[in-house]
Chains A and B, each alone.
Chain A
Amino acid sequence: MEMAQYGWLIPALPFAAFIMIAFLFRRNRMLSALTALASIAASFLVSQGILVEKIKDPAVFELAVDWLKLSPAGGFRGLDIQMGILIDPLSSVMLFVVTFVAVLVALFSIGYMKGDEGFSRYFAYLSLFAFSMLGLVVSNNFFQMFVFWELVGLSSYLLIGFWFHKPSAADAALKAFVTNRWADFAFMIGIILLFVKFGTFHFGELARMIPLSGEIGLITLIGLLIFVGPVGKSAQFPLHVWLPDAMEGPTPVSAFIHAATMVAAGVYLIARSFILFETSETVMTVIAYVGGFTSIFAASIAIVQRDVKRILAYSTLSQLGYMVMAMGIGSLTAGMFHLTTHAFFKALLFLGAGSVIIAMHHEQDIFRMGGLSKKMPVTTWTFVIGALALAGIFPLAGFWSKDEILLAALHHESYGLFVIGLIVAFMTAFYMFRLIFVAFFGEKRSDHHAHETGWLMTLPLVLLAVFSIFSGLVNSPVFYNMFHRSFSTFVFFETPEHPEFSFAVAGISTAAALGGIWFAWRIYAKRDIPAESIANKYPRTYQLLWNKYYIDKIYNWIFNNIMILIGDLFDWIDHKLIDGFFDGMARLLGFTGRGLRLTTSGALQNYALAMFGAVVVIVILASTPVLGGVLK
C-alpha cells in the first residue's frame, strides 16, 4: 500500500512539467527538455515501484475525490462524479509500459528535435500527452476516462500538427481530430446511456451491477457504442484513415502514438470495458471480426507502401487489429500481452526509422535508401531485432504474444480468425523484411551520406531492443515454471490462465513468418523474382493496395458530396428557418413598436381626445341594456 498511494503523482508530474515549460522555461531550450524528461522519468520510477508492489500483492488500490456531487432532488437522480486513481494489475502494467516508452521517446527527442524552432513547445506538448495518457490509465470511472480520452485526442492533434506551417501536417492533424471526434461522439452517447441505466460511472460498481441487469439488448447497444471509441482511437476499420496520415508529426511522436499512448488507449479501454462487453456475445463477436478484418486489411496495404513511416503505420494498424481481435475472442490477457510487447518493438522500429530519417536528412522513401547497414550498424541491428520481434520469430517478444493470440483463437474455435492471424503473420514478416532488405542492405539506391546518429538516439534503441528480445518471456511456460507466476496470472479477467504452449501453433506461425521473410529475401535481396513482374501481373490488385483500397477517396467523395450537402442543409435551416423565425419576431416587435409610438405623440390635446373618446365608450357601454348597462 505504500507505493500505490503516490499513484496520483504519475499523471501529475508530467502535467506540472507541462505548466512549467509552457509558462516559465519556454525561452530556455535545454531546461524545457530536461524538465519534461525528469518529470516523465520520475513518473516511470513511481510506476515501476507500483508494478513491483502489485506483482507481490495484486490487491486493487483505489483513491478518489468527489469532483462533482449533486444530491438527488425530485425527479433528478443525483450525480456523483469522481476523479481518482485505480491501481490494479491491468493499470500497473499499462503505467509501466507508457512511462517506459515515454522516457525513451523523450530522450530520443532531444537528439531528434535538436535545432528545431519549436523545441520547448515540443516538450511541453509531449508532457501534456504523457499526462493525458497516464490520467486515462489510472481512471477509476468512465467519466474521468472520457475527459482524459479527449485530452489524448487534443494533445495528439497538437503533436501531429506540430509542424503546422506544412499544410500536409495541419491537414493530418485535423483529419486525426475529426475522425476521432466521430468515434468519441458514439463513445460519449454510450457512457451517457450507461449512466442513465445504472446511475454510476464507477468501474467497480458497474462490474457488480451489469451482470445482474439482464437487459441484454440495451447492454449490447451500449457496448457497441462504447466500442466505437476504440475503433477511432485505436484506428480500426473503418475509422483507421487518420493513423497513416498522422505520420506527418515528428517521428518520436509517431513512436509515442503508436506504441504507448493514443492507439494503446483504445485497446486499454476495451480491456477496461470487459465488464460490459463480456456480457454480450454480439459485442464480442463484432470486436473480434472488426479486429481481424483490420489486421489483414492493413497488412495488405503495408506490402506495397514505399514510405518507411507509412509501412510502420500500416503495420501498427494491423497489430492493433490483432489486439482487438484477441480481446474480441475473450482473451484480455492475450490482447494486453501483445499490447505490451508491441509497445516495445514498435517504439523501437519507429525510433529506428526516426534515426534513419535524420541520417538521410528527412528522406523517407525506402527505395532511395539502401546500404545503410554499414553506415549505421546500431540502428540497423536494433531495427532488425524489432522486425524479427514483430514478425514473431522465436524467442523474441512478438513470438510469445502472437502465439498467445493464435492459441486463444483456436480455443475459442474461431478458425476463420485463426487463419486470418496466420496470413497476417506471413504478411507482417514479408513487409518488414521487404523494408529491411530494401532500406538497409543492398547497394545505395541514391546518393546519400548517411551516418550513425548520436548516443541520445541510439541508447533508447538499444534499451528497447533488449526489451523486444526478452519481454515476451514473462508469459512463457519457462518463466511460469521458474517463478510460478507469469503475465497471464497477473493481468486477466475473472480467471487467471496458465501460459500454454502448443508446438503445432508455434510451428505453423513460425513457418508463416519464415515464409514471409524468405519470400521477401527472394524478391528484394536475391532478386530472382523481380518485384515489378508481380506488380505487372496483377495490376488491378497492385493499384487497389497502392491506393489503400480507395478508402480515402471514398471518404473524400462522401465529404465533398454528401457531407457538404448535409452541411448546406443545416446551414439553410439555421440561417433561413431559425434565424428567419427570430428575425421575424424581432421585426414584428419593431413594427408594433413603431405603430404604438404614434399614439404617444406627447401632444396633450391628443391625450385629452383619447380620454374623452374612452369616456364616451365607457358611458355607452354602461348605459346600453344589451351590453349589460344600467338603463332598462
Chain B
Amino acid sequence: MIGLPHFLILAAALFCIGFYCAVVKKNAIAVFMGIELMLNSANINLVAFNRFIAPDKLDGHVFAIFVMVVAAAEVAVGLALIVSIYRHRKSATVDDLNLMKW
C-alpha cells in the first residue's frame, strides 16, 4: 500500500536533485531546470498532504495550480532573459554573468 511517507520521500529526493542541479550546474538553463524540479517537488508535497490529511478539501490542489502558473510565467521571463543574454555575450554560463559585479 502506498502511503503519505512514500510521496514525501519522493518529493524530498526530487527536491535534493533539483537543489543539487541548481547549485552545481554552470549552464543557466540547467540551473533553471533544477529550480523547476524543486518547485514540482513542492507541488507533489502539496497534493499529497491534501489527499491524505484533508481529502474533502481542494486547497492543496489550488496551491499546486498556482505554483504551476507562477512557474510557467517565470520560465517564460527567465528563458527570454537567458536567450537575450546568450545573444549578447555568446554564453549562457552563470559565472560569466558578472556584468553588475563590483
Q: List B residues 13-30 near A (Cβ within 8 Å).
A: 19, 22-24
In order of increasing CB-CB distance, the 9 nearest A-B pairs are A602-B101, A605-B23, A609-B23, A608-B23, A604-B94, A602-B98, A608-B22, A612-B19, A603-B95
> Looking across the interface, which residue of chain B has its beta carbon closest to that of A606?
B23
Task: Check B31 for interface membership: any CB of A closer than 8 A.
Answer: yes
Contacts of A612 in B (CB 8 A): 19, 23
Contacts of A602 in B (CB 8 A): 98, 101
- Mark contacts of A590-605 with chain B using CB atoms, 8 A cut-off: 1 yes-contact digit, 0 otherwise: 0000000000001111
Contacts of B98 in A (CB 8 A): 602
The binding surface of chain B is classed by DSSP as helix
Contacts of A608 in B (CB 8 A): 22-23
Report the separation of the CA atoms of residues A127 and B51 in the bound assembly, to the nearest whole angstrom. 106
Q: List B residues 57-102 near A (Cβ within 8 Å).
A: 94-95, 97-98, 101
Report the separation of the CA atoms of residues A602 and B97 in the bound assembly, to the nearest whole angstrom. 10
- Residue in B19, B23, B94 whose Cβ sees the most chain A Cβ within 10 Å: B23
Contacts of A604 in B (CB 8 A): 94, 97
Distance (Å) between the CB of A619 and the closest chain B CB?
A: 13
Report the separation of the CA atoms of residues A604 and B31 in the bound assembly, to the nearest whole angstrom. 11
Distance (Å) between the CB of B31 and the closest chain A CB?
A: 7
Report the separation of the CA atoms of residues A612 and B15 in the bound assembly, to the nearest whole angstrom. 12
> Looking across the interface, which residue of chain B has its beta carbon closest to that of A608?
B23
Distance (Å) between the CB of A610 and the closest chain B CB?
A: 10
Distance (Å) between the CB of B25 and the closest chain A CB?
A: 8
Report the separation of the CA atoms of residues A608 and B22 in the bound assembly, to the nearest whole angstrom. 8
- Mark contacts of A533-577 with chain B using CB atoms, 8 A cut-off: 1 yes-contact digit, 0 otherwise: 000000000000000000000000000000000000000000000
Distance (Å) between the CB of A235 and the closest chain B CB?
A: 67
Distance (Å) between the CB of A613 and the closest chain B CB?
A: 10
Q: How large is the interface on A (under 10, 10 to 19, 20 to 34, 35 or more residues)?
A: under 10
Report the separation of the CA atoms of residues A388 and B102 in the bound assembly, to the nearest whole angstrom. 89
Distance (Å) between the CB of B22 and the closest chain A CB?
A: 6
16 A-B contact pairs sorted by A residue (CB < 8 Å): A602-B98, A602-B101, A603-B94, A603-B95, A604-B94, A604-B97, A605-B22, A605-B23, A605-B24, A605-B31, A605-B94, A608-B22, A608-B23, A609-B23, A612-B19, A612-B23
> Looking across the interface, which residue of chain A has its beta carbon closest to that of B28?
A604
Report the separation of the CA atoms of residues A290 and B7 in the bound assembly, to the nearest whole angstrom. 105
Report the separation of the CA atoms of residues A602 and B101 in the bound assembly, to the nearest whole angstrom. 7
Distance (Å) between the CB of A604 and the closest chain B CB?
A: 6
Report the separation of the CA atoms of residues A605 and B23 in the bound assembly, to the nearest whole angstrom. 5
Report the separation of the CA atoms of residues A609 and B31 in the bound assembly, to the nearest whole angstrom. 13
- Mark contacts of A400-418 with chain B using CB atoms, 8 A cut-off: 1 yes-contact digit, 0 otherwise: 0000000000000000000
Distance (Å) between the CB of B26 and the closest chain A CB?
A: 9
Distance (Å) between the CB of B71 and the closest chain A CB?
A: 17
Contacts of A605 in B (CB 8 A): 22-24, 31, 94
Contacts of A609 in B (CB 8 A): 23
Report the separation of the CA atoms of residues A605 and B94 in the bound assembly, to the nearest whole angstrom. 9
> Looking across the interface, which residue of chain B has its beta carbon closest to that of A601?
B101
> Looking across the interface, which residue of chain B has its beta carbon closest to that of A604?
B94
Question: What 6 additional pairs, Cβ within 8 angstroms, besides A608-B22, A608-B23, A612-B23?
Answer: A602-B98, A602-B101, A603-B95, A605-B24, A605-B31, A609-B23
> Looking across the interface, which residue of chain A has its beta carbon closest to that of B19?
A612
Contacts of B22 in A (CB 8 A): 605, 608
Distance (Å) between the CB of A608 and the closest chain B CB?
A: 6
Report the separation of the CA atoms of residues A609 and B97 in the bound assembly, to the nearest whole angstrom. 18
Distance (Å) between the CB of B94 and the closest chain A CB?
A: 6
Q: List A residues 581-632 near B (Cβ within 8 Å).
A: 602-605, 608-609, 612
- Mark contacts of A149-189 with chain B using CB atoms, 8 A cut-off: 1 yes-contact digit, 0 otherwise: 00000000000000000000000000000000000000000
> Looking across the interface, which residue of chain A has its beta carbon closest to that of B26?
A605
- Residue in A602, A605, A612 whose Cβ sees the most chain B Cβ within 10 Å: A605
> Looking across the interface, which residue of chain B has its beta carbon closest to that of A607?
B23
Contacts of A603 in B (CB 8 A): 94-95
Report the separation of the CA atoms of residues A602 and B95 in the bound assembly, to the nearest whole angstrom. 9
Report the separation of the CA atoms of residues A449 and B95 in the bound assembly, to the nearest whole angstrom. 98
> Looking across the interface, which residue of chain A has its beta carbon closest to that of B22?
A608
Distance (Å) between the CB of B42 and the closest chain A CB?
A: 13
Report the separation of the CA atoms of residues A608 and B25 in the bound assembly, to the nearest whole angstrom. 12
Report the separation of the CA atoms of residues A605 and B19 in the bound assembly, to the nearest whole angstrom. 10
Distance (Å) between the CB of B100 and the closest chain A CB?
A: 9
Report the separation of the CA atoms of residues A612 and B19 in the bound assembly, to the nearest whole angstrom. 9
Distance (Å) between the CB of A612 and the closest chain B CB?
A: 6
Distance (Å) between the CB of B41 and the closest chain A CB?
A: 14
Report the separation of the CA atoms of residues A605 and B31 in the bound assembly, to the nearest whole angstrom. 9
> Looking across the interface, which residue of chain A has its beta carbon closest to that of B95?
A603
Report the separation of the CA atoms of residues A609 and B21 in the bound assembly, to the nearest whole angstrom. 11
> Looking across the interface, which residue of chain A has its beta carbon closest to that of B31?
A605
> Looking across the interface, which residue of chain B has its beta carbon closest to that of A605?
B23
> Looking across the interface, which residue of chain A has its beta carbon closest to that of B35?
A608
Report the separation of the CA atoms of residues A422 and B97 in the bound assembly, to the nearest whole angstrom. 101
Distance (Å) between the CB of A46 and the closest chain B CB?
A: 72
> Looking across the interface, which residue of chain A has its beta carbon closest to that of B38?
A612
Report the separation of the CA atoms of residues A158 and B24 in the bound assembly, to the nearest whole angstrom. 78
> Looking across the interface, which residue of chain A has its beta carbon closest to that of B94?
A604
Q: List A residues 428-478 near B (Cβ within 8 Å).
A: none
> Looking across the interface, which residue of chain B has its beta carbon closest to that of A612?
B19
> Looking across the interface, which residue of chain B has its beta carbon closest to that of A603?
B95
Report the separation of the CA atoms of residues A605 and B97 in the bound assembly, to the nearest whole angstrom. 12
Contacts of B23 in A (CB 8 A): 605, 608-609, 612
